[in-house]
A and B are shown apart, each in its own frame.
Chain A
């Protein structure tokens, strides 16, 4: 029997194309496919955990409100002693196994690859689109690349991180709500025009 390739909940709802108002600077929407794991440091194991993650991924576990990227891996703080680790490659990539091997009993690891969907919003009007549902100030004076936040956006619990100064943002939302969230993003971006890209 052939093993079916896992499919995103969103594939059918993010067909590439140009939508909404005309304009020279459409907002770009795309789904990012990455392995995601939640790493929860055990009590008194902070130094060991940091060393383990640094050794295996080259990442220095970040502080509240921020994320770090190194090569294909990224870590972001989401709660005290708790981080999300993301890694490029197909989601079937067994990030959880690598993390468990690296951390041993310094942390508890839970796979979240399919529990979350990642949506990238970028372009000059990205902040304006997000500001319709996000209460966090994304102005460059306050936010910026490497900053992140856990906050509800359009009533949906989201993890938000700024990827670059374009600006581009990655939004991590519960996968069962991702379709609803994309509907909201589309409606929000319509007045500026938007393009769904692969």
Chain B
């Protein structure tokens, strides 16, 4: 039911075109063999699951096919901002997530 702004199509499109893809900014190590078991398990299985603003990945799977990132308020279920993969997490103006 949501409308989601795809940063690649530069358009708002219906939620059904998108698929959630987990937490954002969890980078795979360039050489995982250098990591100890605990660090690797952390990467595999542990996610932040915050109450409030959450950086997460979405894919415009039934549209342009791009993965991108979004800041979503997990309390209000509002997507506050979306941005392209590889871009740094944007700062939100204070009022955006105070609701």
Contacts and interface: CB of A to CB of B under 8 A. Distances in A.
A79 B62 contact: no
A135 interface: yes
Contacts of A80: 8, 64, 66
A151 B17 CA distance: 6
A136 B9 CA distance: 14
A172 B93 CA distance: 42
B9 A64 contact: yes
Interface string A49-68: 00000000000000011000
Interface size grouping (class) on chain B:
10 to 19
Given A135-B16, A151-B17, A152-B17, A64 B66 contact: no
A146 to B, nearest CB: 15
Contacts of B66: 79-80
Interface size grouping (class) on chain A:
10 to 19
B64 A78 contact: yes
A152 B13 CA distance: 11
B32 interface: no
Contacts of A79: 8, 64-66
B41 interface: no
A152 B16 CA distance: 8
A65 B63 CA distance: 10
Nearest to A153: B62
A135 B66 CA distance: 20
Nearest to A78: B64
Nearest to A151: B17
A135 B65 CA distance: 18
Interface of B: 8-11, 13-14, 16-17, 62-66
11 contacts: A64-B9, A64-B10, A64-B64, A78-B64, A79-B64, A79-B65, A135-B16, A136-B14, A150-B17, A151-B13, A152-B16
